[in-house]
């Protein structure tokens, strides 16, 4: 099964003094990046299978041979996250698992890119929680498209319009689960941010 051996190897190699100080040659930096990426992808599979085990062990509708497929978004920093960008409906929900690796309870604001302006966020008990939509700026959007095009060889399929932000309370060394779905036209949905632009600055 998946493990963290390649990540351990990549981290071990990156302890070289040139790696720590950033004084390695460019082709060596590229090799560190490649090894870390390979290690990350392997560790991602391990995390996905662990989360699937945790999620399904508490489910009352668990079926034999069902394996929940968890994905991560390593390019979230440039607002690229295919699972959250997919158009959401009130029939199909996006499940967001937030894991806290620290030994104390944390209050965090989670931000993910979404394509719709009618979304609702619920916690694991089905209670709606407060959320906010922030328009993705042109600068962020242009950078995302440039890098993702280079990464995929084509422009990404979806075009997210907003960052969806919601508050998450996560227990020590544990996880919280949230459901994001498309809101019904008449139902509650996220608050769209007010945007004010200072047109004239001296």
Partner 1 sequence: NKTIEVGQGSLKLLYSSDEGKLTHYVNTRSLVTTAVEQSYGYYSGNDGTDKDPQASGAYVFRPNGTFPIKSENQVPLTFVRGPLLDEVRQQINPWISQITRIYKGKEHAEVEFTIGPIPVDDGIGKEITTQITTTMKTNNTFYTDSNGRDFIKRIRDFRTDWDLEVNQPVAGNYYPINLGIYMQDNSSELSVLVDRSVGGSSLVDGQIELMLHRRLLHDDSRGVGEVLNETVCFLNGCEGLTIQGKYFVRIDHLGEGAKWRRTVGQEIYSPVLLAFTEQDGSNWM
DSSP secondary structure letter of residue 184: P
> Residue holding tokens 């008449």?
186
What is the Cα–Cα distance from 136 to 109, expressed in whole angstroms?
16
Nearest residue (CB) to partner 1, 1 versus 17: 17
Shortest reach from residue 93's CB to partner 1, in Å: 5
Shortest reach from residue 160's CB to partner 1, in Å: 14
Nearest residue (CB) to partner 1, 1 versus 194: 194
C-alpha closest to that of 182 among 108, 38, 40, 84 = 84
Cβ-count burial of 158 within 10 angstroms (0-12 exposed, 13-18 middle, 19+ buried)? middle
Nearest residue (CB) to partner 1, 10 versus 120: 120
3-state SS record for 116-164:
CCCEEEEECCCCEECEEEEECCHHHHHHHHHHHHHHHCCCCCCCCCEEE
Shortest reach from residue 37's CB to partner 1, in Å: 15
Shortest reach from residue 139's CB to partner 1, in Å: 5
Nearest residue (CB) to partner 1, 139 versus 185: 139
Shortest reach from residue 84's CB to partner 1, in Å: 6
Shortest reach from residue 75's CB to partner 1, in Å: 11
What is the Cα–Cα distance from 13 to 16, expressed in whole angstroms?
6
Buried b (16+ CB within 10 A) or exposed e, 86-98: bebeeeebbebbb
């Amino acid at each position: 099964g998946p493990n963290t051996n390649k990540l351990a190897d990549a981290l071990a190699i990156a302890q070289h003094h040139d790696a720590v100080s950033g004084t390695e040659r460019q082709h060596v930096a590229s090799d560190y990046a490649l090894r870390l990426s390979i290690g990350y992808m392997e560790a991602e599979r391990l995390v996905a299978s662990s989360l699937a085990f945790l999620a399904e062990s508490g489910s009352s509708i668990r079926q034999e041979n069902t394996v929940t497929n968890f994905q991560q978004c390593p390019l979230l920093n440039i607002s690229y996250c295919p699972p959250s960008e997919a158009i959401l409906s009130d029939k199909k929900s996006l499940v967001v698992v937030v894991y806290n690796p620290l030994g104390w309870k944390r209050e965090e604001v989670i931000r993910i890119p979404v394509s719709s302006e009618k979304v609702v966020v619920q916690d694991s008990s089905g209670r709606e929680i407060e959320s906010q939509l922030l328009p993705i700026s042109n600068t962020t959007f242009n950078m995302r498209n440039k890098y993702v095009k280079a990464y995929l060889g084509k422009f990404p399929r979806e075009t997210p319009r907003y960052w969806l932000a919601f508050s998450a309370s996560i227990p020590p060394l544990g996880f919280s689960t949230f459901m994001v779905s498309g809101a019904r036209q008449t139902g509650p949905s996220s608050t769209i941010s007010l945007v004010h632009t200072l047109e004239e600055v001296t």
